[in-house]
A and B are shown apart, each in its own frame.
Chain A
Amino acid sequence: MEATIALGGNPNSGKTTLFNELTGARQHVGNYPGVTVEKKEGIYIQNEYHMRIVDLPGTYSLTAYSVEEVVARDFLVNEKPEVIINIVDASNLERNLYLTLQFLERGIPMCVALNMIDVAKSRGIKIDEKRLSKLLGVPVIPIIARNGYGKHDLMLAAADLSVEKKQMTPLQISYGDDLDRTFIEMEKEIRANDFLTGTYPARWTALKYMENDELILSKGQKQNSEVAAKLENMVKNVSVHLQETVDTYPEAMIADYRYGYISSIIKQGIIRKKGDEQNRLYTSDKIDRVLTNRFMGPLIMLLVLLVLYQFVFTYSEVPVGWVESFFGWLGHLASENLADGLLRSLVVSGIIDGVGGVLGFAPLIMFMFFGISLLEDSGYLARVAFMLDRIFMIFGLHGSSVMAYIISGGIAGGCAVPGVMATRTLRSPRERLATLLTAPFMNCGAKLPIFALLIAAFFSESKGTLMFFFTLISWGGALIVAKFLRLTVIRGAPTPFVMELPPYRLPTFKGLVIHTWERTWQYVKKAGTVILGISIIIWAMMTFPTLPDSKVQDFERKQEALRGAAPSAIVLEFESADKGAELSAEAQKLKERLKVIHSKKAETALRYSIAGRIGTALEKITQFAGFDWRTNIALLGGFAAKEVVVSTLGTAYSLGEVDPEESESLSETLANSPAWSPLVAFSLIIFIMFYAPCFATVVCIVKEAGTWKWGVFSMGFNTLLAFTLATLIFQAGSLLGY
């Protein structure tokens, strides 16, 4: 027997834990069509039952205010699951039942999984599940999702329901005389006209009209505007009446009566409590006395964030090193086995370097998600949001925005790729978008070598102070831009903060591993497809068109001439010497000279390529910010990955291959070049801080924001902003005589 089963419940009710416990590794993560909400589904097999389990997003209600709620509702309508398993936190029964009632009103066969009965017990709460089952009219099965207790009984109950195929009569709650009377009239109207009855029970439609549910209202308009107008009018009348008589709104009245109904159930001996519930201090509250303490709280938070940062960026160095050396080895292998030419260049510089560079992030992402899942699942992340919200609110963000900023390089040296992905913990859509668009302004690890190079060349005195200063600039810039975005393109009232501080819990290792693995895998899949494509395009731009034969021959002739001029013994020594072998002074000199010509050729080829031509053409504009064509090409290359800026500058200055970590020669060249000055360097640093994120980040922005629009926006807007700032700095500085 096969059946689709939807898993619904409040956030923090243990829904994901149950889902992991049921499906284990047999799960698949995708997205609901058109939105960025994750859709997890998996298979559960028990006896002859083969059940497809879909994890609905965690919600407190079934209104149309958040994407999560809309997605959960649409799923019930479109995919018509046979059964809903409603997971309910036994230690927090009243509020959890609020969603349960709404499921019951919807009239889909359901069973309730009463989770965390162990926690409830330890709090002195005992629940009479048989009685609760009788009062709700659906099976109630006590479980402990963390260790799988009760899951077989639960699934058996769900399977029975799906076999019976019994039509559930939707629950009818009384909402008070005024509303009830209107409901009866509305239902009559709805039934008489078959108004949306194909999709929703009549009373549900009436309820949603009363709740002023925008999605249902617009659906109604489309189906039959006449009936819709009639219904809207009925709602208006009763709503005016309610405001005149009791000063309240229908939707408030509905919530009141729902909670009233829950109280009436609970009062019938469902819960037996020991002690005074309201004033009891749980372990969790005791921990909070320290962790959210006015003085200790922020200090501990700083420490936790520092440790997280250390964990993500220091401990991941080893596996990142493995990935890098693997791709280094692969590149080497390809170089040795392919003939010198375009194919080798494509395979080594385009494919292996490109994908290798991007896959090098994978261990980073793995560590980041492990760390963040740990903080999220334990409940600490909600405290961080609680403590920091006051500051971030000023800039139109949310307390949780801090995570994305820090991971992106808020403490210098992060990475925007995992940073942008870290915004998933944010449930407020506008705040989340503003955060992920501004997080790339932070100084990621790839920008640091460029800054180090420029600082060494022009401001050698005060490296530490300047780095700190640049970190402050990027924070300030990110926050101000966030505010700007929230006032313009992402305008809108702040999403209500109203948030639960869940009790502290020990995360399950299984959950952490599954969570971390699926996120990393998603990223790796992207690296193999989109990112590979873009990296080939960038390679082509920096390679084609290749130098015409006549030019190549010019360089070859020069090299030949050098060889010809040298004594033949020296040439022989040079050519037969092993790599790294000590050469005589003469041979060394020849080698250097040949290298100069080789580098000159690389420079000419780069300038001749599409990227080179774009860079040269842009000089007309970028001169206002103080950048010449060499810098322009390097910045174009920086779109592939910011590290590339240093090595491309090296090529453009005919220095051959420049290792970003050891760039003394380049630093000297820049310091001595007449085109450069401390002012140009400063202008360039600001530009690099704010211009288009690297394409790996852009791909993540597109994925997280759900549309290409925001990826394109971040490239265009950021570059424009960076250019404006750099120009202002350069022009003002020039005027002041720097």
Chain B
Amino acid sequence: MARLMMRNMDDNQSGTISAVKVSGELGRRIRDMGLVPGTDIRVQGRAPLYDPVALRVRGFTLTLRNNEAEHIEVEVC
């Protein structure tokens, strides 16, 4: 078990969100989409220029920019 920022996760790596360290609009949007602590996620891949990143979460696919993924801490298996 190791904790790392979502930004640094590899493609196809899975984990569980342990913290979302941002407030304001970005924090709200991230949480609205279901990225709250305890949620299982898997990095599905990245865009051709390695940004944004695509996640599988709660059965749907979500994309966010690397600098947005920087605020999300994940416990990876």
> A-side interface residues toward B, CB under 8 Å?
60-61, 63, 65, 91-92, 94-95, 98, 247, 249, 251-252, 255-256, 259, 277-279, 284-285, 288, 292, 294-295, 297-298, 382, 386-387, 389-391, 393, 493, 495-503
Contacts and interface: CB of A to CB of B under 8 A. Distances in A.
A386 B25 contact: no
A390 B50 contact: yes
B45 A251 contact: no
A115 to B, nearest CB: 14
A298 B48 CA distance: 8
A92 B58 CA distance: 7
A262 to B, nearest CB: 9
Contacts of A390: 47, 49-52
Given A292-B47, A496-B25, A499-B62, A259 B34 contact: yes
Contact of B28 (A63, A94, A387, A389): A63
Contact of B30 (A98, A278, A284, A496): A496
Contacts of B42: 278-279
A444 to B, nearest CB: 29
Interface of B: 14, 19-20, 23, 25-34, 36-40, 42, 44-45, 47-52, 54, 56, 58-65, 68
A107 to B, nearest CB: 21
A255 B36 contact: yes
Contact of A95 (B34, B38, B49): B34
Contacts of B63: 382, 386, 497-501
B48 A252 contact: no
Given A251-B27, A499-B62, A500-B33, 16 more contacts: A65-B29, A94-B34, A255-B31, A256-B31, A256-B38, A284-B61, A285-B61, A292-B48, A387-B48, A389-B52, A390-B50, A393-B65, A493-B25, A496-B26, A498-B68, A499-B64
Contact of B58 (A94, A252, A498): A94
Given A60-B33, A252-B27, A386-B47, A496 B68 contact: yes
Q: Which 4 A-B pairs have the closest CB atoms?
A: A255-B31, A390-B49, A501-B61, A61-B32
Contacts of B61: 284-285, 288, 500-501, 503
A400 to B, nearest CB: 12
Query: Which of B23, B28, B50 is the most central at the interface, judged by chain A CB atoms within 10 Å of its CB?
Result: B28
Nearest to B65: A497
A497 B28 contact: no
B23 A498 contact: no
A285 B68 CA distance: 23
Given A251-B27, A498-B62, A297 B34 contact: no
B59 to A, nearest CB: 6
Contacts of B31: 251-252, 255-256
A95 B54 CA distance: 17
A251 B29 CA distance: 11
Contacts of A259: 34, 36, 39
B36 to A, nearest CB: 5
Contact of B40 (A255, A278, A495): A278
B64 A497 contact: yes
Contacts of B52: 386, 389-390, 497
A297 B48 CA distance: 8
Contacts of B58: 92, 94-95
Contacts of A63: 28, 32
A300 to B, nearest CB: 11
A277 B59 contact: yes
Nearest to A295: B48
A496 B64 contact: yes
B33 A65 contact: no
A98 B64 contact: no
Given A386-B47, A389-B47, A94 B32 contact: no
A611 B32 CA distance: 56
Nearest to B60: A92
Contacts of B48: 292, 294-295, 297-298, 387
A61 B47 CA distance: 27
Contact of B36 (A247, A256, A501): A256
A91 B29 CA distance: 21
Contacts of A285: 44, 61
Nearest to B27: A252
A359 to B, nearest CB: 40
Contacts of B36: 252, 255-256, 259
A409 B5 CA distance: 41
Contacts of B40: 278
Given A279-B42, A390-B49, A501 B34 contact: no
